Amino acid sequence: MKKLINAPENVVKEALAGMAAAHPDLLTVHYDPDIIVRAGAPKAKVGIISGGGSGHEPMHGGFVGYGMLDAACPGAVFTSPVPDQMLAATQAVNGGKGVLHIVKNYTGDVMNFEMAADLAAAEGIEVASVVTNDDVAVENSTWTAGRRGVGVTVLLEKIVGAAAEAGADLASCKALAEKVNNQGRSMGMALTACTVPHAGKPGFDLPDDEMEVGVGIHGEPGRRRVKVAAASEIAEMLAGPILEDLPFKRGDHVLAFVNGMGGTPLIELYLMYNELNKILTGNGISISRQLIGSYITSLEMAGCSFTLVKMDDELTKLWDAPVHTPALRWGM
């Protein structure tokens, strides 16, 4: 195992210390329970929080800041955070307008966020939740009943964060989050496995000439394992199931997100974006907004995912609204 780490058991806390040192203007890190809380957030707004296992950086801690998340709960690598973290985050951001939990559909995350929501409710904090489940690859998976929550989560956090910043109430934030999830679909693939520091060896075996199509963000099995193909074919393998599933239709405008899994260089992501753009154009679908980069990752896994969200004026305006977080920033 080759990693830029000290002891495996300290990776998350040491990376959090780096976040705290780098971004004191944007966030504060609290330990035990570990949470990342936005600095100077106004109290008179709906609090937006998310969380999940670490190893997917910049998600979620890198999205804490103006116009996106008010707090994030980082679990151990590829491990759900515990309810204490979610409760502490909920308490930290509660300003009386309620708190929205954005939860990716993994059994541990869902269960623990539910428990935290119950505990918060018992304290009189109004909590609503949305569960993202945008991965079209498989219906059930290693740690998931139903579909997995993946790339849409990033885009949803931006869009709902903008609405909360603009004063939307809790019910509106929840409805908006459900809309984005319902209009979004994703699928990913891996060229290589990744190694959880504690485990010390790759999470799965992938021969030198094969790739996993439909892989999960923890290396969970996808739809099938096939020989490595050309970028144009890989793009078809990902875009095809996404387009069929919603389905996306001629004339649709989409936010297209080409995401790197952590070990994939940007030159390849732009090449994949070119392939995706050709496929969409050929289907009469136009990309009205885009995001290209490694935003929901799986440690050093090589590979990529596509996410498409069907856009309208409301979503476009919220996407374009100013944001200032460690990982996403524009308009300020």
How would you classify the pairing of strands 286-293 and 303-310? unpaired
Query: Please, which residue, 173 or 273, has the CB nearer to a second copy?
Result: 273
Residues 300/191, Cβ–Cβ less than 8 Å: no
In whole angstroms, give the CA distance from residue 45 to residue 38: 13
What are the CA-CA distances from residue 119 to residues 80, 87, 107, 160 (Å)? 17, 7, 18, 24
Helix (H) or strand (E) holding 323: strand 323-324
| Selected catalytic residue, list 23, 60, 101, 218 | 218
Contact 180, 130 (CB under 8 A): no
Residues in 165-224 at the binding interface with a second copy, rule: CB under 8 A: 191-192, 208, 211
Peptide bond into 202 cis (omega under 30): no
Pattern 225-244, a second copy, x by CB under 8 A: ---x-xxx-x----------
Choose one: 9-17, 110-118, 133-141, 244-252; the region binding a second copy (CB under 8 A): 9-17
Rule CB under 8 A: which of 14-43 touch a second copy?
A: 14-19, 21-22
Q: How far is CA 283 from the centre of its chain?
A: 27
Give the nearer residue to a second copy in terms of CB position, either 46 or 299.
299
Minimum CB separation of residue 226 from a second copy in Å reads 13
218 included as an active-site residue: yes
Beta strands, E only, 78-223: 99-104, 127-132, 184-190, 210-213
Least distance CB 95 / a second copy (angstroms) = 27
The answer to whether 277 contacts a second copy (rule: CB under 8 A) is yes
Judged by CB under 8 A, the residue of 202, 271, 283, 317 near a second copy is: 271
| Binding residue count for a second copy, defined by CB under 8 A | 60
Structure tokens that stand for 11 in this block: 């990776």
User: Position of tokens 């780490």?
Assistant: 5
Q: Is 198 a catalytic residue?
A: no
Structure tokens at 104: 């990716």
Active site residues: 56, 218
Interface contacts to a second copy, rule CB under 8 A:
2-7, 11-12, 14-19, 21-22, 54-55, 57-58, 62, 191-192, 208, 211, 228, 230-232, 234, 262-275, 277, 287, 290, 292, 294, 297, 299-300, 302-304, 326, 329-332
